[in-house]
Amino acid sequence: MFPMPSADYRMLFSKSSTLTVAVVVMWLNCSIIFAASTVSYSKSTLGLYDISTFDVYVDGRIIHIIAGGKKTANDQQFSIRYTRSEDGGRHWKNPVTLDIQLSEVNASRGNDIQLATKDKRLVALWQSQGELPGMGPLAGAYSLDNGRTWQQSLNPAGDNDGSQAYIDLIADLRGNFHVVWLEDPDENGYQSLRYARSIDSGQQWSQPVTLDDSTCSCCPNTFALSPKNELSVLYRDMTPRDMSLLQSSDSGLTWRRINTVGNFDWNFKGCPHVGGGLGYIENDDVAQLHSVVWTGVEEKPGLYYLSSSNNGQTWSIPARLGETAIHGDIAALDSRKVFAIWNEMEAEGLSVFYAVSEDGGASWLKPKRLTEAGNAATHPKLVSTRQGVLAMWTEKPSKQPSRLAWQIFK
């Protein structure tokens, strides 16, 4: 079970109430046997009033969290805080408030603030609020001292009058930082997948380039880094609205389209607001790529798991996860044990379910509930750590502020 947080931060990180996830009633020789199992998880607002956006990132043995929300119930000012764990998520450092001047922040769940780290260097990016609803330029900050102090960074898109959203950020093995986002820089009527990189920890960014000039306009993008330092980007294409995979093997200098991840041939003109999950695990010098993708195709909408043993060239037959699953993520503990997590749509709200594969994704055990629907948990994320797989999400029980919640699976 998840240990209690350190005494220093007990006010910030508390254990959740117990959640009964299964009650089995068996009739046996006229007697009733109850067998109940429980799942408990931790939760926090990092000392803020609420949490409306977050990201979690693993670099070596360190787990990093960046999150934003209001300081107080009546406060309109947004605050961003950073914290880290050096023991697999058991204890967390006292959160640091990013002491930079913040313009109005537009980040929210599904269009979240993003964080990437390499050693002592950290970069965070988010969408700020422009003049029009839901639109605004990228903004960001970087730290060169383990997140103790932060400086304002330049907009990688280079256009503070434009609108850039659905950011993802990653650091490669050499310490270069890479960012993708959606933008319509040429005002051609389509959102493009745009990319830039920084070789100085987010202080300056390369000239942005377009990786795909027509994409879905409102779906999150996902980076993954292979053990051989190859960059992969999973994003939702325009036509059809399936998820596509791009890769670069030269640290972002050149890119090539690899394949579609799940050929659902979903033709849709609208806003799904759903991306996918992507993660590598290496075994005997062979990198296995795991993915979850969502499709709204009429005959079989839902969340699907796929894997590739040839770096995305070909993919397994999509395996459906959950009943009415959405907002999925994926992470592998080792070459055999793979975890998938998602939201399940229920009458009382969104709940979080997860499933485990013990054979590298070939088959999946029965999904388990992590949260009650009434907690309105959303957009769960998974990251692999040295101590296990960390699941993290936000939840907002009725009439309570939204908060971070997490659980570690071994």
Partner 1 sequence: MFTKIFIIYFFVLLFISIPAQAEKVQLKHFVPGSYQQLLEKNADKPFMLAIWSTTCSSCMEKMALLNELKESRPEINIVMLSTDDVSVSDQIQTVLAKNELAALDNWVFADENAQRLRHEIDPKWYGELPRTYFLNKNHERQGISGALSQEDYETILKVILN
Query: Given the complex with partner 1, which of 161 and 285 has the nearer CB atom?
Result: 161
Q: Which of 5, 220, 252, 349 is the binder for partner 1 (CB under 8 A)? A: 349
Which of 405, 410, 408 is closest to 15 using CA atoms? 405
Q: Please list, residue by residue across 349-386, b when 16 or more beta carbons sit within 10 angstroms of its beta carbon and e when fewer do.
A: bbbbbbbbbeebbeebeebebbbbbebbbbbbbbbbbe
Does position 355 interact with partner 1 (CB under 8 A)? The reply is no
Q: Which of 20, 40, 77, 188 is the binder for partner 1 (CB under 8 A)? A: 188
Site residues for partner 1, 236-265, by CB under 8 A, read: none
Query: Given the complex with partner 1, which of 23 and 347 has the nearer CB atom?
Result: 347
Query: Given the complex with partner 1, which of 87 and 346 has the nearer CB atom?
Result: 346
What is the distance between the alpha carbons of residues 68 and 66, in angstroms, rounded to a whole number? 7
In the complex, the smallest distance separating the C-beta of residue 99 from partner 1, rounded to whole angstroms, is 28
From residue 309, alpha-carbon distances to 127, 140, 289, 361 in Å are 35, 36, 6, 11
Rg (CA), the chain: 21
In the complex, the smallest distance separating the C-beta of residue 291 from partner 1, rounded to whole angstroms, is 19
In the complex, the smallest distance separating the C-beta of residue 216 from partner 1, rounded to whole angstroms, is 10
Residues 6+ apart with CB under 8 A from 299: none
289, 312 Cβ separation under 8 angstroms: yes
- Count of CB atoms situated within 10 Å of the CB of 203: 15
Query: Given the complex with partner 1, which of 21 and 373 has the nearer CB atom?
Result: 373
- At residue 325's C-alpha, the angle toward residues 364 and 163, to 5°, is 125
Does position 109 interact with partner 1 (CB under 8 A)? The reply is no
Does position 113 interact with partner 1 (CB under 8 A)? The reply is no
Does position 143 interact with partner 1 (CB under 8 A)? The reply is no
Q: Which of 273, 336, 368, 369 is the binder for partner 1 (CB under 8 A)? A: 273
Beta strand ranges found along 296-402 (DSSP E): 302-308, 319-321, 325-332, 338-346, 349-357, 368-369, 377-384, 389-395
Query: Given the complex with partner 1, which of 188 and 204 has the nearer CB atom?
Result: 188
Q: Which stretch binds partner 1 (CB under 8 A): 46-54, 97-105, 182-190, 310-318?
A: 182-190
Does position 376 interact with partner 1 (CB under 8 A)? The reply is yes
Query: Does residue 76 sit in helix, strand or coil?
Result: coil
Does position 167 interact with partner 1 (CB under 8 A)? The reply is no
Site residues for partner 1, 287-346, by CB under 8 A, read: 294, 296, 301, 324, 326, 345-346
Cis peptide before 240 (omega within 30 of 0): yes
Letters for 196-225 (x = contact with partner 1 by CB under 8 A, - = none) are: ---------------------xx-------
Q: Which of 189, 284, 285, 317 is the binder for partner 1 (CB under 8 A)? A: 189
**Site for partner 1, rule CB under 8 A:** 131-135, 162-163, 184, 187-190, 217-218, 268-274, 294, 296, 301, 324, 326, 345-350, 373, 376, 396, 398-399
